[in-house]
Structure 1
């Protein structure tokens, strides 16, 4: 009886270890909590995340290990940069990839968005249309926007749905230009989520001459993810060379998404993996 109990305990522990190993380095399952990706993904969807594609990551803290982290609830140490040690990547980041990443605001939360801006890109949004390095980014048929009808009611359509509307219906609709608190705070009166930038996304090895204006854009990344600078100003530092790559991500539901327009650039080592498939939809 004792022998059977020991075998059962060892078997259970081995199973848990294998599950943790797979979820940490190979594949994981992510629950979609919000409507920011509608109508590509929906609240309640479960998606499979490929963690090998961009290079599996060795967690720095127990809090970042699946299952164990949830039990320990180890607090995030914001002064530490580089939460993961990245292993060899099998795939390069591609524009339009759906990525799962650690939230830069709520450190123990995961988000899923569409990768739009790559390191070194200049991104600009004009009347909700995205331009990368001056080139129009293709509008996917599943991107959705809010419109006002002639009675002031809000209707939401994907690009594909809008194209199928009658000419008279289209004429009665006006695409909304949404205002919302945006990144960086210094641009609150100038930029909106529909008219944003231009903004240069930091790239490893890129050197910038610091000015009063771009300090507001980059000081958060430099302080929290790059170095231990306590005072970042024109008087103490004249230029800065980035040590890491950063990315810019948007939700497909462009008028109902908290994304890089709100919280800024995503450090590369925060990206957990690429969405591989929807495995369950209610």
Structure 2
């Protein structure tokens, strides 16, 4: 149904208001009402090459082809103004009925005439025939554009092109936190393909171009919810595979606290509504929820899926997989997970000279990350670092005064903030987690009061059902039930810095409609995230982003 709506909006509606203009160009008016055939007729009217019609069927490319068609169609009817072209591209189903009321005459096949003039100008320039060039300039039926208009159109086209390339093809991202070290480092700039997993169609199409979810100066939303579309994707090149790094929208960012402080400074969007709720026992959440809603009533932001914060983690579990962490070791389907060379764990450095270690040198040479106090990032704890087991063994050999490096594990038992946030039923933490099975589209889940907390957000928030629990019974959309069949596939994401990452162990499953794209390679890497304070990591330029 979503694809049908998409075809109607972008392949049919731009042409339906042209039926009288078709007749003026000597074509049957009914042709404007026939999907795809109307595009073939427009190409004929403007004199463009036939391959335009085929190119129009390619997702994303079709935006540019249709825009070109409409501009050339305008010229064919003597409409050359910038405002006419902008209106034809932005609101064709309003502009063309309006144009028909002006009763314009069909002038010529604009694209064919321009193309012929171009060839003749080129031939005259090659033969250095100034008289021929002057004659062609006099015969040119198209008005000469001012420098202001040329620059304006160039800038607008560049923004238009960049916006759609970013939305559907490829986008640049920056790694801001150490949760994926040592595969991806703070200060890495990545290109991420939107095509590999299928370009996701926009769910909130009315938005400022090239801005994700928040305006840079006011702190308000950069999009409008006036028009909302359901989830759909273009055909994919590949499925999300186990151990792929993946960019996705943070699932719990549907409800966040944000905005501007009284002094005009930006209130931290990282203060998530759900993060506060899951940090308290289940019995206290209802009271805290009411308190938060009252306290932040004017700052609550309810974001649609495609406008939620971008995260990057490694997909360690695909739909149907069983996930478990035992003594800090990840198991997938009861087998120890693939060893990712970039994965880091938390270690304790033991020895007489540990406190004299030069942290920046070690971080650079060994690709380790030392623990920093989150309240004071300048306070580095030299005795705690994140590294791969092979690196730990090598450092013991290399560093005099470091006698031993031991893996640090949380003792068994519940840690607040661990999904599904109930320490009595699920006494889990990041080093002792599960087992848990990832939901799969079309595979029925048996529900009970013992496991409903695992699937509450899946049923209600991610798939939009009305979920109620009354008198020990589960009601979905008003009907008592003991089963649920997911409509989407789900994934399990974990950071490569396993003991320093907020990931699926904190917020659970990631729905397929939240998947954004596949990281391709690092195109720039800055030490300390700054060119001025750190410089370029030249050895990481154009390095693949898989970390495997």
TM-score by length of structure 1 reads: 0.89
Q: Relative to structure 2, which stretch is displaced further, 111-120 or 150-159?
A: 150-159
1:36 and 2:280 are equivalent in the alignment = no
Tell me the distance in 1 between the aligned counterparts of 2:245 and 2:455. 25
Q: Give 2:443's aligned residue.
A: 206
In structure 2, which of residues 316, 328, 333 is the aligned counterpart of residue 133 of structure 1? 333
Tell me the distance in 2 between the aligned counterparts of 1:29 and 1:160. 32
- Alpha-carbon RMSD: 2.7
| Structure 1 residue 83 displacement after superposition | 5.7
Q: Give 2:383's aligned residue.
A: 153
Question: Is this contact kept in 2: 1:24–1:65, CA < 8 A?
Answer: no
Tell me the distance in 2 between the aligned counterparts of 1:62 and 1:176. 47
| Structure 1 residue 155 displacement after superposition | 2.9
Q: Relative to structure 2, which stretch is displaced further, 6-15 or 253-262?
A: 6-15
Q: Give 2:504's aligned residue.
A: 260
| Structure 1 residue 251 displacement after superposition | 0.5
Tell me the distance in 2 between the aligned counterparts of 1:146 and 1:174. 9
In structure 2, which of residues 461, 472, 489 is the aligned counterpart of residue 245 of structure 1? 489
Tell me the distance in 1 between the aligned counterparts of 2:462 and 2:386. 37
For residue 167 of structure 2, give the secondary structure of its aligned residue in structure 1.
helix
Q: How does 1:75-224 map to 2 (within 5 A)?
A: 84-107=231-254, 108-150=308-350, 153-166=383-396, 172-178=404-410, 179=415, 181-187=417-423, 190-224=427-461
Tell me the distance in 2 between the aligned counterparts of 1:112 and 1:103. 9
Tell me the distance in 1 between the aligned counterparts of 2:439 and 2:230. 19
TM-score by length of structure 2 reads: 0.47
1:62 and 2:205 are equivalent in the alignment = yes
| Structure 1 residue 75 displacement after superposition | 7.1
Q: Give 1:21's aligned residue.
A: 164
Question: Is this contact kept in 2: 1:102–1:110, CA < 8 A?
Answer: yes
Question: Is this contact kept in 1: 2:396–2:405, CA < 8 A?
Answer: no
Tell me the distance in 1 between the aligned counterparts of 2:187 and 2:202. 27
Q: Give 2:521's aligned residue.
A: 277
Q: Which has the higher strand share?
A: 1
Q: Relative to structure 2, which stretch is displaced further, 119-128 or 171-180?
A: 171-180
> Kindly tell me: are residues 240 and 65 of structure 1, through their superposed partners in 2, closer, same or farther at Cα, counting changes over 3 Å?
farther
> Kindly tell me: are residues 75 and 154 of structure 1, through their superposed partners in 2, closer, same or farther at Cα, counting changes over 3 Å?
farther
Tell me the distance in 1 between the aligned counterparts of 2:401 and 2:225. 50
Tell me the distance in 1 between the aligned counterparts of 2:313 and 2:155. 35
Q: Which has the higher helix share?
A: 2
In the alignment of these two chains, the number of paired residues is: 279
Tell me the distance in 1 between the aligned counterparts of 2:346 and 2:514. 30
In structure 2, which of residues 223, 235, 255 is the aligned counterpart of residue 74 of structure 1? 223
Unaligned runs of 5+ in 1: none
> Kindly tell me: are residues 88 and 132 of structure 1, through their superposed partners in 2, closer, same or farther at Cα, counting changes over 3 Å?
same
Question: Is this contact kept in 2: 1:146–1:255, CA < 8 A?
Answer: yes
Q: Give 2:155's aligned residue.
A: 12
For residue 212 of structure 1, give the secondary structure of its aligned residue in structure 2.
coil
| Structure 1 residue 254 displacement after superposition | 0.5
Q: Relative to structure 2, which stretch is displaced further, 143-152 or 191-200?
A: 143-152
| Structure 1 residue 73 displacement after superposition | 2.1
